[in-house]
Structure 1
Amino acid sequence: MLPGWQEADGAHIAALHVDLAPGWKTYWRAPGEGGIPPLFDWSGSENLKSVGFIWPAPEVFDNSGYRTIGYKGGMTLPMRLVPIDPSKPITIRGQVDMGVCEEICMPVTLPFSAALPMNGPRDPAIAAAMASRPFTRAEAKVQDVDCDIEPTDRGLALNAVVDMPPTGVIENAVVEVRNPRIWVDPAVNQRDGNKLHISADLSSISGGAMMVDRSAITLTVLGSDYAVEIQGCD
């Protein structure tokens, strides 16, 4: 755990740093087919109100027709920790469950513990990881996002048209709905000039009815030149 520094508003910037053996990889928050996203347990922490993650742009891996998304060789995952009392330091204790993969993928559990210094210096490794996050909608010059959601015999079909410049020769789109009870199939994308068409099927894990909050939909475009993250689907 990289202890990081305290911001002017009292929040603390720290990071989980994971080194992996050559050829091994771990996964992004939306890991793709067969991947395991990191899951954190903060239950032993002190003076900790909330945690927000700043995800660096991941890579897309194709293995025998299956697409997974993550980081090769390791990752530095910055996080913004909000204290209950900004005048006191935060102590974090807990564990992270995550998947690691070479030829065979396996889950691992890593315990962590750190007292975060209130006057720590800025860490270049954390700053570099924060700088590698996907561009925002404004930074990527996204002009418009139009989403249609229609019922199907399996659930719902989401079709989005994003007006934005190409992010590289190769582009992969990811759709997230921020609802663990909804399964999102791998997205399919196709470009027509400055219009990127993204489609994905949504289904309820329980098999029942479901409701999708458009403001909670995240569209991420992972291009060979840069990545873009779009919050909300109009």
Structure 2
Amino acid sequence: MRPQTKERMTLADAEIGAVAHLYRAEVYRSTIWRTRLDTTTNWAVVTLGVALSITFSSPDASPLPLILVGILIIFFLLLEARRYRYFNVFRARARWLERHFYAPLLYDGDLHMEENWQKVLATDYLQPEYHVNYMTSVGRRIRHNYLWILLIQSLAYAGKILVHPSPITSVQQGISRADVGPLPGELVIAIGVVYVISWGAIAMWSGWSDAARASVRRSNTYMG
């Protein structure tokens, strides 16, 4: 049995330099993944813009492109949620270093190694894992970007039905305009309502989940 040595609670200058380079690397990786998030959002906006241009190009144009583009928007949302889980890992590590390394160093010159924040970071490197689940990631992307895209798509579709090729004069006329091939207008509208409510519910659930997570996030044992 080796005699138990006292744990060293300080960092040498070389070690502080290594941590500084580690922070730069995490910021760089989070920036790269943030750019990839913006890319998928741009794809969703562009495809919605194309659908709007086609649908409103003439009064007789079909509103079907606004329905079909919803499939692409969902695909981009799910792809972006997956990318967000990677981004969140690197963002959380950089934020952890800012909170426990740079902030104490700048505030009072003490790294507070006794709080064992470095062990939490080391464990995250030794056993890397996502810090949020997939549905939380989807909800955050809806709240931050896609809720507005989905609302614009839905409102544009409703507006097309209401005004083209001429303003509707009855509810039944509007429902009949929503027919898509063999699918009756009632079913198409019902699917649209469920579509909007579902994404809105996921966004609200994600907001409540993040609010509950906020108190845990302030602890010295939780990163992300």
TM-score above 0.5 = no
Structure possessing the higher relative contact order (Cα contacts under 8 Å, 6 or more residues apart): 2
Normalising by structure 1, what TM-score?
0.20
Greater Rg by CA: 2
Q: Flag the structure with higher strand content.
A: 1
Q: Flag the structure with higher helix content.
A: 2
